[in-house]
Chain A
Amino acid sequence: MSTDLKKERSSAKPTKDENVRQQKSPEMKPAEHISIEGSEMTESLIMVRNLEKHYGELHALDGVSIDIEKGEVAVVIGPSGSGKSTFLRSLNLLEMPTSGEIIFEGVNMLDKGVNINTHRQKMGMVFQHFNLFPHMTIMKNVTIAPIKLLGKTKEEAEAKAHELLKRVGLDDRADAYPSQLSGGQKQRIAIVRALCMEPDVMLFDEPTSALDPEMVGEVLEVMKALAKDGMTMVVVTHEMGFAREVADRVVFMADGKILETGTPGEIFTAPKTEKAKQFLASVLK
Chain B
Amino acid sequence: MTLFFAAEDSGFFEDLRERFINNFITGDRWKYLANGLGVTMKITLGAVIIGVILGFLVAAVRATHDKTGKLRFLNAVAKIYLTVIRGTPVVVQLLITYFVILAPMGVDEIIVAIFAFGINSGAYVAEIVRAGIMSVDNGQFEAGRSLGFNYAQTMWYVILPQAFKNILPALCNEFIVLLKETSVSGYIALQDLTKGGYIIVGRTFDAFMPLISVAIIYLVIVMILTKLVALLERRLRNSEH
Contact = CB atoms under 8 A, between A and B. Distances in A.
B31 interface: no
A148 B153 contact: yes
B139 A149 contact: no
Interface string A227-246: 00000000000000000000
Contacts of A92: 146
Given A117-B149, A135-B240, A127 B142 contact: yes
Interface stretch (A5-13, A99-107, A118-126): A118-126
A132 to B, nearest CB: 8
A194 B147 contact: yes
A177 to B, nearest CB: 5
A60 interface: no
B238 to A, nearest CB: 10
A120 B144 CA distance: 10
A149 B148 contact: yes
Contact of B150 (A117, A133, A177, A197): A117
Contact of B143 (A121, A133, A135, A197): A133
B142 A148 contact: no
B149 A148 contact: yes
B149 A94 contact: no
Interface in A88-138: 92, 94, 117-118, 120-121, 123-125, 127, 129, 131-135
Contacts of B153: 148
Main SS class of interface, B: helix
Given A117-B148, A117-B150, A127 B240 contact: no
Contact of B142 (A94, A118, A123): A94
A179 B241 contact: yes
A193 interface: yes
Interface residues of B, number: 21
Interface string A195-215: 001000000000000000000
B239 interface: yes
Contacts of B103: none
Interface string B148-171: 111001000110011001000000
B147 A127 contact: no
A58 B8 CA distance: 87
A149 B149 contact: yes
A125 B146 contact: yes
A174 interface: no
B145 interface: yes
Contacts of B157: 144, 148
Contacts of A133: 140, 143-144, 158, 162
A127 B241 contact: no
Contact of A123 (B146, B158, B165): B146
Contacts of B139: 127, 129, 131
Contacts of B162: 133-135
Contacts of A193: 147
Nearest to B147: A145
A12 B145 CA distance: 33
Interface string B37-72: 000000000000000000000000000000000000
12 contacts: A117-B149, A120-B148, A125-B142, A125-B146, A129-B139, A131-B142, A133-B144, A135-B161, A135-B239, A135-B240, A145-B149, A148-B157
